[in-house]
Amino acid sequence: MHRRRALASTALAFLLGGAPPGGAHVLDPEQVVAEIRRSARDADFAVLAAAADRALPRLLVVAVDARWAAVPAERRRRLAEAWRVLWRESAYQGVLAVTDARGASLVTFDADGHARLRAPAAP
């Protein structure tokens, strides 16, 4: 568990060009949301919103804009996996959704947590 969290933190930091969080402490849900929002400001894609769903607080919805599709697929996949691990570590049985601005799913996860990218829905 600690190894997975450390790998996810390191992957997230690497993907976003920053330093990994210190130690192996677990971020609380608000910190995870704030980190996704903060780090995305300087990235080559835009996170339009990142928030836990009011009706389902274990669900984190990260909405991205059209620039998401221009990011290399492997980087998008690894980033989504890192977000998922961080969220699952901070929110009990947390579930992550990466969507476009309209709410269409852009990423699915298999039973092992591996991300599978979905093509954006036609307008």
Domain contains 27: yes
Provide the pLDDT for residue 98.
96
Instruction: Give the pLDDT score at 38.
Output: 82
Which tokens sit at 40?
């995305």
73: in domain: yes
Q: 98 pairs with which residues across the strands?
A: 62
Is 54 part of a structural domain of the chain? Answer: yes
How many Å apart are CA 73 and CA 120, to the nearest integer? 13
pLDDT mean for each 10 residues of the chain (123 residues)? 50 49 72 86 78 94 91 93 94 94 96 93 71
Q: Cβ(2)–Cβ(10) under 8 Å? A: no
The residue to which tokens 């607080």 are assigned? 57
Cα 2 versus chain centre, distance: 18
Give a yes or no: residue 123 inside a domain: no
The pLDDT score that the predictor gives to residue 46 is 78
Question: Which range marks the domain in which residue 107 is found?
Answer: 2-117
pTM for the complete prediction? 0.78
